[in-house]
Structure 1
Amino acid sequence: MAEERRTRSTEAFFGRRHGKRLRPKQDAALAALLDGALIDLGVAAPADVRTLFPGSVENVRLEIGFGGGEHLLSELARHPQSGFIGVEPFVNGMAKLASAVDEAGGTPSNLRIYNDDATELLDWLPEASISGIDLLYPDPWPKKKHWKRRFVNPVNLDRFARVLKPGGRFRFASDIDTYVDWTLLHCDAHPAFTWPAQSADDWREPYEGWPGTRYEAKAIREGRTPAYLTFLRG
């Protein structure tokens, strides 16, 4: 039964798991990252998620679907006092991150990763344990028949609300207008979240320290304007 639930959940929120075959060096870097930083959901979650990290961290943030890891790597360097959990089920994306940390000297002490369905991790984490959640350029599933696969939905917002600390941030970036509108409507309808934007610059300007991503660069080249939304957990 658990495997059936996992299969349905996985099919609901992301697509393929593998791209091109990894080169031996990539494969080795990925194995090292998984061996040293993968979160094991087979054991009980710690009461204090900061203990997932070997060093001392002040808070813990979560990035769901980090792609090639451009933003995650930037935030790791900018906020060494924070712990980061990166979730990416796409093997080639995880391998790209693994290669980057390998070239930089090894897995940062403030990084932990999960390589499967983010909803499983969200259900495992203790309540009010996360300071921020980033969902950046998620798959928009543009066809109406696939909208049920969009990660932003009432059930997942309930999950976000459960694990976020009061005052915690949920950040959502996308270049797809319909998904931006969808997210605004769903967060507005959810009692746990508020959108504190005061002017257009609050969603047109990238987040502080934003490094840009390859997905964003492609969107801009193709004439799509990104939006950067921030919601607060009440």
Structure 2
Amino acid sequence: MERKSPSGAPWRNFYGRVRGKGLRDSQKSYLKDLEEIGLERVDWEDNPDRAMLDLAAIFGNRPVWLEVGFGGGEHMVHQAVANPGVGIIGAEPYINGVAMLLGKIRRAGALNIRVHPGDARDLMDVLPDGSIEKAFLLYPDPWPKKKHHRRRFVTPEHLQPLHRVLAPGAEFRIATDIPDYVRQALEEVPKAGFEWLAERAEDWRTPWSDWISTRYEQKALREGRVPHYLTFRRV
């Protein structure tokens, strides 16, 4: 028998952080913005039949991008401002990061972002097939211990639903400073139906032309770690 959570959803272990240090009053005020830009019908309690999100109702005819684990949100806001003709959805369970993102959205006036403050797997459950034109996985939790590698995003549990929601030919970008994460990504992502687009070493050593260095990348550089930029295409 399939194990269920109290809400009736399939039981999914979640190992990342959900909350960190206490939020400042200003950050608490930002969370009120979720009433307008938070995605509805993602949580099982509100959507027991798992009705798909109507992305056309949310973004009109814009292409839609997805960022999994947006951290403090600087990359997502940068992309939203640079690409006003695109709708961007971000999934992030860490509420402190969500509050930081909402503050950046307010200051930048980025109206083409919607937020799922929870597990990306729940979000992908309600995204229609082939509805996402581009996806980002930037400096994900490395889970460095070998026994924890199955918790990484680059596993079938995450990659198979990602493949389903991406449109044929869609781009999937991964940035990481962890060599073993690169190894696992290059093993698992192609098996899930993606093609690695690198032809030479510079293709994964050089950031994308529209890249903005995040605080996680700056920390990696300060500590002497080398960023890797992997680009895949959904086939």
Q: Is the TM value for this pair above 0.5?
A: yes
* Alpha-carbon distance, 1:131 to partner: 0.4
* Alpha-carbon distance, 1:8 to partner: 5.0
Specify the alignment match of 2:58 in structure 1.
52
1:150–1:6 distance in 2 versus 1, CA, 3 Å: farther
Matches within 5 A, 1:74-93: 74-93=78-97
What amino acid is the match of 2:55?
V
* Alpha-carbon distance, 1:57 to partner: 4.5
1:58–1:104 distance in 2 versus 1, CA, 3 Å: closer
Matches within 5 A, 1:71-150: 71-105=75-109, 108-150=110-152
Q: Is the 8 A contact 1:194 1:233 kept in 2?
A: yes
Matches within 5 A, 1:181-220: 181-190=183-192, 192-220=193-221
1:3–1:226 distance in 2 versus 1, CA, 3 Å: farther
Take 2:169 and 2:79, find their aligned partners in 1: how far apart are those partners? 19
Aligned residue pairs, count:
225
Q: Is the 8 A contact 2:105 2:111 kept in 1?
A: no
1:118–1:87 distance in 2 versus 1, CA, 3 Å: same
Q: Is the 8 A contact 1:128 1:163 kept in 2?
A: yes
Tell me the TM-score normalized by structure 2: 0.90
* Alpha-carbon distance, 1:201 to partner: 1.2
Higher helix share: 1
What amino acid is the match of 2:35?
D
Superposition misfits of 4+ residues, deviation over 3 angstroms = 2-8
Specify the alignment match of 1:9 in structure 2.
12
The reply on whether 1:36 has 2:40 as its aligned counterpart is no
1:45–1:188 distance in 2 versus 1, CA, 3 Å: closer
Take 2:176 and 2:185, find their aligned partners in 1: how far apart are those partners? 10
Q: Is the 8 A contact 2:135 2:173 kept in 1?
A: yes
Gaps of 5+ in 1: none
* Alpha-carbon distance, 1:167 to partner: 0.4
* Alpha-carbon distance, 1:5 to partner: 7.7
* Alpha-carbon distance, 1:210 to partner: 0.9
* Alpha-carbon distance, 1:176 to partner: 0.2
Take 1:68 and 1:45, find their aligned partners in 2: how far apart are those partners? 27
Secondary structure at the aligned position of 1:197 is classed as coil
Q: Is the 8 A contact 2:198 2:204 kept in 1?
A: yes
Secondary structure at the aligned position of 1:9 is classed as coil
The reply on whether 1:66 has 2:73 as its aligned counterpart is no
1:219–1:7 distance in 2 versus 1, CA, 3 Å: farther
Percent sequence identity over aligned pairs: 44
1:171–1:5 distance in 2 versus 1, CA, 3 Å: farther
Residues 4-55 of structure 1 deviation map (CA, whole Å, 9 limit, x = unaligned): 78695252xx4221111111121011122x1111111234224x523223xx
The reply on whether 1:21 has 2:22 as its aligned counterpart is yes
Take 1:206 and 1:116, find their aligned partners in 2: how far apart are those partners? 28
1:2–1:139 distance in 2 versus 1, CA, 3 Å: same
Tell me whether 131-140 or 56-65 shows the greater mean CA deviation. 56-65
Take 2:52 and 2:179, find their aligned partners in 1: how far apart are those partners? 37
What amino acid is the match of 2:97?
G
Take 1:67 and 1:7, find their aligned partners in 2: how far apart are those partners? 26
